[in-house]
């Protein structure tokens, strides 16, 4: 896209934004086709200075061209997309997500295999069979024994000022339901759930907090009541051995995977998504106990997350790629592939507040923050771990957390400037 003299060609562009506080005139401007994000930033900030007297600071923007974030020059971007420069080009600009900053490093006695956040509270599961409660300021509230094998999954069920309920799953073949009395800082296991023949690998709580699902190495998904009520418990005469708290059996057992179930998520009150080492994603009808939809992948899946904001699935798998699936699509179900990790991707997590942002964690020791509209390059790499990263989660909306084989749980702070992007 150069003219005959070898100079970069000029193209006509119009700048648009959904963030009204940063809107500038939508008149066409002539720019050089070889400009990159930095020069566009300078131009838009100059236009803002002319138009808006109340914006004093320089704002960092990202630019969407043809639906993708600009990461090269405009000319290269258009060449890749086979877009003509003859017509006026629409460039959308959004306030750039600020780089998360390391906040804290929480030490454990063994590998950190599971994490779940709820506001300012963190749950972590450890390979030394323990569960831990922390706050986002890095204060350790409780270490909780109970499981007899590594804890592979933890999830908050409900939380208020005086009481929290949470669930945990372990390789000891059990899931446990716990009540934390916050004022007295004491925890009781109220129910032990037994239904898996092998270790429990993953766990997810329904949006109404009434049920939770577990997936295990016995290739099955079990659905459980998350109620504190004793009505859902098994009579004591059926106990095969003493348990912590009461005993509970599954409401339903969903069988269909041919290898270990690595991830479970609730898509709605009647639909559970599961991923397996058998390269399959299954969408289950919980009421009928049958499969609604099955999606075949390339390699073993290690994790998946569902976003109610964009109604899409992201998956982590053994081939280093993260894939975005739209289960509603009648054409290609895989909508995008994100490749940057150099090892297995072990964990993925959508932002709870922005439908285009997600986290990934891998065996390369890195946590990456992605924008769905930038498939080739993550927004940021969050460094600090010295070994394989096994889990990650995104608090609402300020904290990013990750746990690894270096025995640490790391907390990163995300600035609230993102609120303008939502």
Query: How many other β-carbons are positioned within 10 Å of the β-carbon of residue 389?
Result: 30
What mean pLDDT, rounded, does the chain reach?
91
1 — pLDDT class (breaks 50, 70, 90):
very low
Instruction: Indicate the class that CATH gives domain 101-421.
Output: mainly beta
pTM for this entry: 0.91
DSSP for 23-49?
Answer: ------EEEETT--HHHHHHHHHHHHH
421 — pLDDT class (breaks 50, 70, 90):
very low
Q: Which residue matches tokens 């659905």?
A: 223
Domain covering 10-95, topology: Ubiquitin-like (UB roll) (3.10.20)
Tokens of 313: 């699935």
Give pLDDT, residue 340: 94
| pLDDT of 240 higher than 60 | no
Where are the CATH 3.10.20.90 domain residues in the chain?
Answer: 10-95
Where are the CATH 2.130.10.10 domain residues in the chain?
Answer: 101-421
Range 280-302 average pLDDT: 95
Whether the CB-CB separation of 353 and 422 falls below 8 Å is answered with yes
- Please tell me the distance from the alpha carbon of residue 20 to that of residue 283, in angstroms, as a whole number: 39
242 — pLDDT class (breaks 50, 70, 90):
low
**Using one digit for the tens of pLDDT, what is the confidence trace for 244-261?**
878 999 999 999 999 999
Give pLDDT, residue 236: 52
Give pLDDT, residue 291: 95
Give pLDDT, residue 56: 79
**Using one digit for the tens of pLDDT, what is the confidence trace for 81-137?**
888 878 889 999 999 988 999 999 999 999 999 999 998 999 999 999 999 999 999
DSSP state of 81: H
- Backbone phi, psi, residue 77, to 5°: -60, -45
């Amino acid at each position: 896209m150069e003219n005959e003299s070898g100079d970069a060609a000029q193209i006509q562009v119009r700048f648009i934004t959904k963030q009204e506080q940063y809107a500038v005139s939508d008149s066409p401007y002539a720019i050089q086709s070889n400009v990159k994000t930095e020069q566009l930033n300078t131009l838009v900030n100059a236009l803002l200075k002319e138009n808006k007297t109340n914006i004093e600071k320089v704002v960092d923007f990202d630019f969407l061209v043809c639906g993708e974030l600009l990461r090269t020059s405009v000319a290269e971007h258009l060449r890749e997309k086979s877009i003509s420069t003859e017509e006026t080009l629409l460039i959308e600009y959004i306030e750039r997500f600020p780089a998360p900053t390391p906040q804290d490093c929480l030490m454990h006695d063994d590998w950190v295999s599971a994490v779940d956040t709820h506001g300012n509270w963190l749950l972590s599961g450890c390979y030394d069979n323990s569960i831990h409660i922390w706050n986002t300021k890095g204060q350790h509230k409780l270490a909780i024994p109970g499981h007899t094998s590594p804890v592979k999954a933890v999830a908050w069920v409900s939380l208020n000022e005086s009481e929290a309920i949470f669930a945990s799953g372990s390789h000891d073949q059990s899931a446990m339901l716990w009540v934390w009395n916050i004022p007295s800082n004491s925890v009781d296991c109220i129910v032990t759930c037994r239904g898996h023949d092998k270790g429990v690998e993953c766990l997810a709580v329904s949006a109404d907090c009434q049920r939770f699902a577990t997936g295990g190495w016995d290739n099955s998904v079990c659905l459980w009541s998350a109620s504190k009520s004793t009505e859902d418990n098994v009579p004591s005469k059926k106990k095969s051995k003493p348990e912590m708290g009461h005993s509970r059996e599954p409401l339903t057992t969903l069988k269909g995977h041919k290898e270990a179930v690595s991830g479970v998520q609730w898509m709605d009150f009647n639909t559970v998504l599961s991923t397996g080492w058998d390269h399959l994603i299954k969408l289950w009808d919980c009421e009928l106990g049958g499969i609604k939809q099955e999606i075949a992948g390339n390699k073993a899946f290690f994790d998946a997350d569902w976003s109610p904001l964009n109604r899409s699935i992201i998956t982590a798998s053994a081939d280093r790629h993260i894939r975005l699936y739209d289960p509603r699509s009648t054409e290609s179900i895989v909508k995008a592939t994100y490749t940057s990790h150099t090892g297995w991707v072990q964990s993925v997590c959508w932002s709870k507040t922005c439908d285009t942002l997600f986290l990934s964690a891998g065996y390369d020791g890195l946590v990456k923050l992605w924008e769905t509209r930038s498939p080739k390059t993550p927004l940021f790499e969050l460094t600090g771990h010295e070994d394989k990263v096994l889990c990650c989660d995104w608090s609402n909306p300020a904290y990013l957390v990750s746990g690894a084989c270096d025995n640490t749980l790391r907390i990163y702070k995300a600035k609230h400037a993102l609120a303008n992007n939502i």
